[in-house]
Structure 1
Amino acid sequence: MIRILLAEGAPLLRGGLVALFDDVKDLDVVAAVGTGEQVLPTARRRRPDVALIDVGLPGLDVFDAARALREAVPECRTVLMSGRRRTGDLRRAVAARAAGLVLKDTSPGDLVDAIRRAANGSRVIDADMAFVELGSMQSPLTEREVEVLALASRGASAAQIAEDLVLTIGTVRNHLSRINRKVGAQNRIHAIRIAEEAGWL
């Protein structure tokens, strides 16, 4: 029996997945949660074999969660679900040592198969997402520019970024200007959106 922790923010989809897995003899949903804060404590308590987690789950960076789950519950394999083919998600999933990344529009049979394969130690990767990743362009940003933009994406001001990274405000503003030029953005918000969609953040 494969014990599953399901983490999905949409109640209708969460309920549908629970019903789907309940009809499969070798799958057992030991917990179904709807927020990111519930994932780690529930996994520690229920000790699932596979955690199936929505990439868009509120209150959670799922890639950080995959790393944390691997440390806290080493026997648990994390499979991430995404509603869209976003460049960078596959790379981040691999870096987080997730067992797999699947699309929400996959067929029920393929999803069940993906969970079984992940539980058996295999990597599960959606072919379409692999092609998106292979076709993505290399980031033009330096490591420091990514740090600056990542802080900006969390709402930090130039002064806060300067303090966090031990830089002058002028240096931070120069970084932001260079980022805009490199990615072809009109402003900071536009640059963040471009970088996120490209998978550079």
Structure 2
Amino acid sequence: MTFCHRVRHRGAFGRLGALGRNVFGSLVGMFAFVVLDREAQNLTLVRDAFGIKPLFVSVSDRGLCFASELPAALKLVGGAVRLNHQRAYDYLVHGDYDTQATSFVEGVSQLAPGHYQEYDLRTHTLGVEHKWGNPSVQQTSDLSFQQAADELRERFLQSVRYHLRSDVPLGTALSGGVDSSAVGVRYSACEPQAPVHTFSFWLRAPLFLKRSGLIW
């Protein structure tokens, strides 16, 4: 799916040069986007702080190609697909697939979480990555247990409210755990008039997995 959004005002995306890259820290949610600055003649590629949304990038003789999914990136890049054997090994052996700049395909990289990168349209060069997201983890010891519980509840509710902002139908996955159940309950409470779509799945595990002790 491809969409284009034109920005005419001088807000957060209208003129990055005027606001500076600190504007990325004020964005809430998961995102991956590219901003065209006609005056500066460059593109700015941005990925959310935790890397929830992917952003694949490739630079070749055809120019700059980018997409939020690897199949779409391969369509843009064209040519023969060459497997990145090291990344395939890392994934199959260690389950690691999103901690490096490289992807499963040679010649296609991915922007790191909490980073932005600029592409110069005049020289057709891609600059180095710059980190914009640096979540602060600080221990607060001046709260009582009840105050901490109230603060956690409010932040959880606010997060659910943010995730309910959508122009398409929403749903939530129920895994049977406490966290997904809590999200489903608050989803219904925040939008009492909206239908709540929930989804679950059950995997019939092969017999050898049960015998190996990997699952019960």
TM range (shorter): under 0.3
Question: If each structure's helix is expressed as a fraction of its own residues, which one has the higher value?
Answer: 1
Larger of the two Rg values belongs to structure: 2
Using structure 1 for the length normalisation, give the TM-score: 0.28
Using structure 2 for the length normalisation, give the TM-score: 0.27
